[in-house]
Amino acid sequence: MTERADADMNSKQHRFDAMVGAFSDDVYRYAYWLCRDRQIAEDVVQETLLRAWRFMDNLRDKKAVKSWLITTCRREHARLYERKRLDRVDMEVDDMIDLAGDSNWNAAELRELHQRIHALAEDYREPLALQVIMGYSVAEIAETMQISESAVMTRLFRARKQLLATVDADRLASDQVRGGRS
């Protein structure tokens, strides 16, 4: 390689590191949320970063790096399932606690919340995960999912409504069971 080619490669590597370095943990967290398996999530992130490397010169708005990476991750995850259908593995409670960080949730609550969210239809589950897990705004979710902001707000509303309905139904059933025992 010539000195110029070496310098260009180092420059590209430096730009890539600066561009994605701050968001690689977020991309992994989102990939893990999508597939619930560490190895598959690592593969999806690797493919995402490889695609980001190849196409980073096409990114026009440097402020949109995080959204671009998350969208790429989402597409790489979809490509994985287009190629082959893998068995889904339930996430261990310890993994959920790791993802929750220093929250006040106990393992049983996390397991229950995880199950309820994953029981939602994908149209509702995905925007909710992007908002809750990734901290995305409605505009960022709309851009990532390539739908309108009003569609995102509708899906978020319906996702929360469904979650609350399942909680209310469980409480009612629990109250009826306790009432029948008295």
The answer to whether residue 105 scores a pLDDT higher than 90 is: no
Length of the chain in terms of residues written: 182
Closest to 119 (Cα-Cα) out of 169, 171, 164, 163: 163
Distance CA 136, CA 175 (A): 37
Label residue 154 by pLDDT band (50, 70, 90): very high
In contact, 130 and 164? CB cutoff 8 Å: no
Q: How many CB atoms lie within 10 A of CB 138?
A: 17
Evaluate whether the domain defined by 1-91 bears CATH number 1.10.1740: yes
Extents of the domains making up the chain: 1-91, 104-182
- pTM of the entire predicted model: 0.53
What pLDDT sits at residue 3?
64
In contact, 50 and 103? CB cutoff 8 Å: no
Q: Which residue has the higher pLDDT, 14 or 91?
A: 14
What class, spelled out in words, does domain 104-182 have in CATH? mainly alpha
How do residues 36-58 score in pLDDT, each as one tens digit?
A: 889 999 999 999 998 888 888 88
- Per-chain mean pLDDT for the chain: 78
The lowest-confidence range among 2-6, 30-34, 46-50, 153-157 is 2-6
Q: Which residue has the higher pLDDT, 117 or 180?
A: 117
What pLDDT sits at residue 150?
92
Distances in whole angstroms, Cα of residue 75 to Cα of each of 64, 68, 146:
16, 11, 12
